[in-house]
Structure 1
Amino acid sequence: MRVVHLRHSGVMVTHEEYQLFFDVISDISAYIDFSKKIFIFVSHSHSDHFVKSFIQFKTGKVHYVFSEDVPTDGFKNVLIMKPGDQLKIAGLSINAYASSDLGNAYAVSLAALNVFFAGDLNWWHWENAGTEANRAEEKLFKDIVDTIEVKSFDLAFIPVDPRLGDAYCWTGNYFLERFEVRHFIPIHFGTNFAITEAFQKKHHTRSNIHCIHHLNETIIF
């Protein structure tokens, strides 16, 4: 299995005959392998998660899984999912969960591999938002996480957003408390790679936390 951390929240997972791409906002032409079953997931339409020009391919061999808010014009083989939807296609089982911002989080099972991609499902805590607003954000996040039926993931892609200050790690901490995670891979940090190292150091007793050092970092399992 091969994972490439692309940019911000963009990742690629290659496993056996599958290639999965999530929230691509950079050129993936050097990675895409049309001999495989290709699925491109978009959690929502925000520009730091969706750039149409990088994922629009003319071939019908690519399957797209979009949240309801993502524009579909010009795409073929688009599957629209909303929170609570379940889908089985080409050997994949896909569950869509709510986000605490916009769109979906995805749980994907394939070939005995369980993958969770959070998108913008995050414990948002803004210092200037006020106590009540932040308590509401906490409740929303935890209520959504409580709906996730699968309790063990081989790969979990979880936000560690440096804009949240000391709260950057709360989503990751909570997810690691609630689920068994074989490989935890941070997303949603822009190019602030130091924040991934900080999260890894915070959990220094664990061997399953991966630090991202540069763009297009490849991790082989």
Structure 2
Amino acid sequence: MYDKVKVTYLLNSGFILEIGDCAIIFDYYQDEKNIVDKIIQDKKEVYFFVSHVHYDHFNPKISEFKDKVTKYFISYDVVTDVLPKEKTIILDEYMTYDDKNIHVRSFSSTDEGISFFVEKNDWKIFHAGDFNWWHWKGDTKENNAFAKNGFVKQMMRLSGLKMDIAFFPVDSRLEEFLDLGVTEFCKVTEVKNLITMHNVGKKDWIIPEDFPNKEKMNSIWCPKVTGESHFITK
């Protein structure tokens, strides 16, 4: 068992986790500092996860790492022929993949594609992809009601889920509604360490004093700069 994880921010919703001799890369988009290539050289296991087809979550360049990659876990909406078929697992909503090294469950999203729940080396990790409560100020009441309904339905499936690490969008383009989703998410799940992502607007999120279950969390990290890292201990 590894009692410490190193998480490094790439960009947008892209992160690389190091758990011992394993590297897990979520939603690789850009990596101008060549962080991923440097890290994976010494790893025995390397996993890439792609939550959906949007350009800021999927970059076909991940195929360039194929000689080091153990498995690619790809959302069903990503159509590509650049990844090696023998290493690629296509996941639809609510599917499970298991082998002796890793356990993966997929959930739905309120945008494109899926979200991921990953269990590796006794660590439980959730990456939301673009799953969020997308309440846009300029949208119609009907569209925002539809968005809320989709989010609430999915949260019923996630309710009670226990996670050591959760990556979840806090997008400042939503203005004062930027933390609607993450607030509800942390209210009905058990998150030990929260990492925010997809902050396209770049405005800092001020964590509310009454943020749900804040006192039970070990850390809340809001990365800003590509290449910065955060260490998480069990």
TM-score, shorter chain, exceeding 0.5: yes
Question: 1:26-41 counterparts in 2 under 5 A?
Answer: 26-27=30-31, 28-33=36-41, 35-41=43-49
Residue 74 of structure 1 and its aligned partner are, at CA, apart by 1.8
Residue type of the alignment partner of 1:127: K
Aligned Cα root-mean-square deviation (Å): 2.0
Moved more, 43-52 or 26-35: 26-35
Q: Are residues 1:64 and 2:109 paired?
A: no
Runs of at least 5 residues in structure 2 that lack an aligned partner in the other structure: none
- The aligned counterpart of 2:224 is 213
Residues 179 and 150 of structure 1: CA distance in aligned 2, closer, same or farther (over 3 Å): closer
State the TM-score, normalizing by the size of structure 2: 0.86
Residues 68-97 of structure 1: per-residue CA shift (max 9 Å, x gap) = 111231211110001011111342111101
Structure 1 pair 217–55 and aligned structure 2 pair: CA distance change class (3 A): farther
CA distance in 2, matches of 1:5, 1:150: 27
TM-score normalised over the length of structure 1? 0.91
Q: 1:171 to 1:96 in 2, by over 3 A?
A: same
Deviates more, 1:98-107 or 1:183-192: 183-192
Query: What is the rounded CA distance, in whole Å, between the counterparts of 1:191 and 1:124 in structure 2?
Result: 14
Distance change (3 Å), C-alpha of 1:4 and 1:209:
same
Q: Give distance in 1, aligned partners of 2:66 and 2:96.
A: 26
Match of 2:207 among 187, 199, 203: 199
- Equivalence for 2:7: 3
Count of aligned pairs between the two proteins: 219
Counterpart residue number, 1:143: 153
Name the residue aligned to 1:179.
189
In the alignment, which of 66, 76, 80 is matched to residue 90 of structure 2?
Answer: 80
- For residue 178 of structure 2, give the secondary structure of its aligned residue in structure 1: helix
1:152 pairs with 2:145 = no
Matched residues, percent identical? Answer: 26
- The whole-number CA distance in structure 1 between the counterparts of 2:219 and 2:68 is 37
In the alignment, what sits opposite 2:109?
99
CA distance in 1, matches of 2:106, 2:66: 26
Contact 2:6 2:18 in 1 (8 A): yes
| Displacement after TM superposition at 1:31 (Å) | 2.5
C-alpha contact 1:159 1:189 (8 A) present in aligned 2: yes
Contact 2:127 2:168 in 1 (8 A): yes
